[in-house]
Amino acid sequence: MEFPFDLTPVLGDRFCVVDQHLRPAGRPGPTHRGDLQQQLRTVIDELGKASAKAQGLPAPVTSAARMESNRHVLYILRDPGGAAHRPPRGAVIGFLKVGYKKLFLLDRTGVHVESEPLCVLDFYIHESLQRHGHGRALFQHMLQSERVDPRRLAIDRPSQKLLGFLRKHYGLDDPIPQVNNFVIFEGFFSNRPVLREEAEPPWPFNLRPFVRRDGRTEPPAGQTDAPPPPRRASSLGR
């Protein structure tokens, strides 16, 4: 994916890591040229649109504004250009977005476990550059930077193409689907600290009907006459 400006001062040489501060490559401090940050925002927004279109989503799940409001990390892979067959200003090959989320997850036995894993939230390689090893290089760079085993990842709404990618390159071929549309794999819970473990599901799945006597509604023992006020689970989806 090409842009009408030089990507070198915006993204660096090959891998660029962007957090919620949206700092161009090589500028870790709070001060940097405003035009470079605006160019970075343009790159992120266009990548998010391309990913949404490829997945058939009604709206992008990745944008500069969303990056600023969430503690996610964006790994961007680019072709530095310069060779005769490459664009002189460089081009973006794809990106991978990850972030930590609190989730209620099911293990193989049906026990609900509250955990906070690193999640794969968006992954896109340009259609013209797929099956050239770029996706594997980008994913491997993320694993090394985050120091995480691929079995410990939670994948948000993975496509069949992404599931095939994980099976081919990392041997993850036995997914455990979740009610919140995330997918985890065998080995996810091994030697992992969990926040909480429950034999029954979290609210609202654990609500029981009131006991009826003489045609009247009566709460179970230990509850007040009125049902408890609604509360939200930590995470039940995107």
At 146-169, the pLDDT tens digits run 999 999 999 999 999 999 999 999
Mean pLDDT of 41-54: 95
Asked if pLDDT for residue 206 goes beyond 60, the answer is no
pLDDT for 99: 97
What's this model's pTM, rounded to 2 decimal places?
A: 0.77
Buried b (16+ CB within 10 A) or exposed e, 155-189: bbbbeeebbebbeeebebeeeeebebebbbbeebb
One-letter identity of residue 125: I
Of the candidates 172, 61, 79, the one whose C-alpha atom is nearest the C-alpha of residue 125 is 79
Q: Tell me what the mean pLDDT of segment 118-125 comes to.
A: 97
Helices (H) and strands (E) in the chain, counts: 5, 12
- Token pair of 188, please? 């996810």
Q: What is the pLDDT of residues 70-94, one digit of tens each?
A: 999 999 999 876 555 556 678 999 9
- Are the C-beta atoms of residues 102 and 116 closer than 8 Å to each other? yes
Question: pLDDT grade, residue 112 (50/70/90)?
Answer: confident
Residue 1 CA to residue 3 CA, distance in Å, equals: 7
Would you give the DSSP letter of residue 236?
S
pLDDT interval class at 110 (50, 70, 90)? confident
pLDDT at 132 over 70: yes
Q: Is the pLDDT reported for residue 119 higher than 50? A: yes
| φ, ψ dihedrals at 103, nearest 5° | -135, 145
Residue 81 phi, psi (nearest 5): 75, -170
Share of the chain above pLDDT 70, in %: 73
Q: What domains are defined for the chain? A: 8-199 (3.40.630.30)
Q: Are 195 and 102 in contact (CB under 8 A)?
A: yes
